[in-house]
Amino acid sequence: MAVCLKMAGFEVIEARDGVEAIRLARERQPHVIVLDLRMPRMDGWTAAGTLQTDLETKRTPILAVSADVYPEARARAISAGCVAFMEKPIDPMRLVAEVHRALALGPAREDSGTG
């Protein structure tokens, strides 16, 4: 995913796990977060929920990515505050389009149920 986004001209910051993702999001204040839901130390659902309740990151749109294709995974990601859910394997063109869409939305509204 990172290579695809870099080739599309985006600056990409990569985290190895959910704990690092939260730390980097707080430090670097990205415009969009693409978050794998299955990560070590802290899963993406927990990380998304944490990011959405943190004053520093709660307005940052989060795109969830997962090989988990069950409807519950999608619903749980949206409930955690993600603005989109993409199934693996990721279509590079769709990923780039979703990032552009999230950027066009701007920071998520505080009163929004889905970000």
Residue 112 placed within a domain: no
pLDDT confidence of 69, banded at 50, 70, 90? Answer: confident
Residue 115 placed within a domain: no
Domain that holds residue 22: 2-105
Residue 111 placed within a domain: no
Name residue 86's beta-bridge partners.
Answer: 65
**CATH number (domain holding residue 37):** 3.40.50.2300
| pLDDT tens figures, 91-109 | 999 999 999 999 997 665 4
Q: Tokens 């190895």 — which residue? A: 16
Residue 85 placed within a domain: yes
Residue 113 placed within a domain: no
| pLDDT tens figures, 35-63 | 999 999 999 999 999 999 999 999 999 99
Over 50: is that where the pLDDT of 78 sits? yes
User: Amino acid identity, residue 74?
Assistant: R
Write down the mean pLDDT value for the chain.
90
Task: State the total domains in the chain.
Answer: 1
Take residue 26 and report the two structure tokens written for it.
Answer: 């707080």
Cα distance between residue 78 and residue 38, in whole Å = 15
Cα distance between residue 105 and residue 42, in whole Å = 27
